[in-house]
Copies of this chain bind each other. A is one copy, B any other.
Amino acid sequence: MGALTKIRAPRVRHVAPVVDKADLPLGRILPGDCVEAMRSLPDASVDLIFADPPYNLQLGGDLNRPDGSHVDAVTDDWDRFDSFATYDRFTRAWLTEARRVLKPDGGLWVIGSYHNIFRVGAIMQDLGFWLLNDIVWRKSNPMPNFRGTRFTNAHETLLWASMGEKAKYHFNYRAMKTLNDELQMRSDWVIPICAGQERLKKGGHKVHPTQKPEALLYRVLLATTEAGDVVLDPFFGTGTTGAVAKRLGRNWIGCERENIYREAAMERIECALPLDESALKTMQSMRTAPRIAFGSLVEAGMLAPGTELFDKQRRFSAQVRADGSLMSGKECGSIHHVGKTLQGAPSCNGWTFWHLEHEGAIKPLDALRQTYLLSIED
């Protein structure tokens, strides 16, 4: 009953544009310490942050404080605790700024290894970020463990979080499913390490020790941003995030202390070619597609009142009525409601449950909806 009265305008993202994009340093790399650099950005101005912070731990090597001063090598227990504490302070500092500049429906990605990721993850939770997935980047060609003392360290971990437990966030479910041959994308991604042509080199040496593969960023940005979104990378390095953002039609902002990386990144991003607009269009999920009321199919004449509908096994049948409601015996209501009640199920998707006979074949209602959707596009 009354299905027609429920027709709504297609939903849009209704986070108020507090910040004008023109006020943001889009397509620029901010020099200096990332915490300082982020301070120059307004609150709630960024859609996504991708961060590849220093793993800086336990390498017997260097650890820098947020202010850039150097921490002496860690030898005894006291120093070890001191260094974890220092790393934690550094992490809390940049994550706090990240949180400030992110929109309420923004997303955060951080990549790390077992040296730092547990500290980062715990601090993210402490600051109120809500973990959505931990993603395993499974390297198809990892470095072997030469000394045979441990398992080959063949993966790194990415954390994906929203701003809070109840916060909205963006996930292009349909695009990911398409990318994965019509199966749901899993939390483990097999991607080769960055090598060959893609690896930036100067004088035969790699420019950056931990350059990430573009395929990794491609999947991250495709999954959790829309074209036109603003993506911030506080540890920009040689600009993989910027290069992929440009290709995918996303805006980007970087922070990077090292002059040499900034230069390499800008040069690289200049060369990146944006995909054209039609290539950028991704599969939409039903949830974000315009919502179609069943009644509008009747209204449009695609389905005559009185048409008989069946479930696939023909255990149930029902009749379409002029107002877009369904009737089956004494039961009447929406296609979903009648399907649910007849089955005694907790819920029912009427679009896939009900079928109709058309030229001898049985088709689900959903096929009709697809046809209708195409007819009203553009």
Contacts and interface: CB of A to CB of B under 8 A. Distances in A.
Interface of A: 58, 64, 66, 68, 70, 77, 80-81, 84, 113-115, 117-122, 124-126, 128, 131-136, 138, 142, 144-145, 148-155, 157, 159-160, 165, 171, 173-174, 176-177, 184-188, 223, 285, 287, 343, 345-349
A interface majority secondary structure: mixed
Contact of A121 (B66, B77, B118): B118
A186 B114 contact: no
A148 B132 CA distance: 12
Given A136-B155, A153-B133, A285-B148, A126 B81 contact: yes
Given A68-B346, A117-B118, A142-B186, A149 B134 contact: no
Contacts of A152: 184-187
27 contacts: A66-B349, A68-B343, A68-B345, A68-B346, A68-B348, A77-B128, A81-B126, A84-B125, A114-B131, A115-B131, A118-B120, A118-B121, A118-B125, A119-B125, A121-B121, A122-B122, A132-B150, A133-B153, A136-B138, A136-B155, A136-B188, A148-B174, A151-B184, A151-B187, A152-B185, A155-B187, A188-B188
Contacts of A113: 134
A113 B121 CA distance: 12
Given A119-B122, A136-B136, A173-B148, A68 B186 contact: no
